[in-house]
Amino acid sequence: MINRTKHNIQNNNNMILYNVTINIEDESHESWVKWMKEVHIPDVMRTGIFSHYRFFRLLTSVEDNTGTNYAVQYFCESLEKFQEYEAKYAKALREEVEKKFSGRYYAFRSLLEEVL
């Protein structure tokens, strides 16, 4: 019999991927990309939580979607490290984004565990 209950995040010391997908209005996306590259992503990386990141522009569009879509993927070594990020740094970093681009973006966050 298949267990159809929701899976809990396991602590297997597998790589953790913190993915932030962002839709930014077209009028702001150039200044947002510049700010992300020069300010926000470096600030996130300076926390020492993540080993590396990737920054992508989505090539496929979502139906009824306006603006431009991006994904920033941050990689860390464990769930505990990510929880440290959430506890110590996430709120202030998100507030900085909100101050700079309030009302011009939407972000969707997901946490993924590497499957070996």
The whole-number pLDDT of residue 14 equals 86
**101 alpha-carbon distance from chain centroid:** 16
pLDDT tens across the length of the chain (116 residues) = 334 344 455 556 789 999 999 999 999 999 999 999 999 999 999 999 999 999 999 987 766 678 999 999 999 999 999 999 999 999 999 999 999 999 999 999 999 999 98
pLDDT for 1 equals 38
Ordered DSSP codes for 43-58:
HHHHTS--SEEEEEE-
**Total structural domains in the chain?**
1
Q: Are 73 and 23 spatial neighbours (Cβ–Cβ below 8 Å)?
A: no
Q: Is residue 84 part of a domain?
A: yes
Identify whether 57 is part of a domain: yes
> For residue 72, is it within any domain?
yes
Asked if residue 93 belongs to a domain, the reply is yes
Query: How confident is the model at residue 62, as a pLDDT?
Result: 65
Residue 15 burial (10 A CB sphere; 0-12, 13-18, 19+): middle
| Residue 31 covered by a domain | yes
Show the domain range for 32. 16-113
Look up residue 91 and give its DSSP letter.
Answer: H
pLDDT of residue 116: 81
Looking at residue 97, which CATH number applies to its domain?
3.30.70.100
List of residues 6+ apart from 39 with CB closer than 8 A: 96
Beta strands 52-57 and 105-113 are unpaired
Residue 2 falls within a domain, yes or no? Answer: no
**Overall pTM surpassing 0.75 (yes/no):** yes
In a domain, 7, yes or no: no
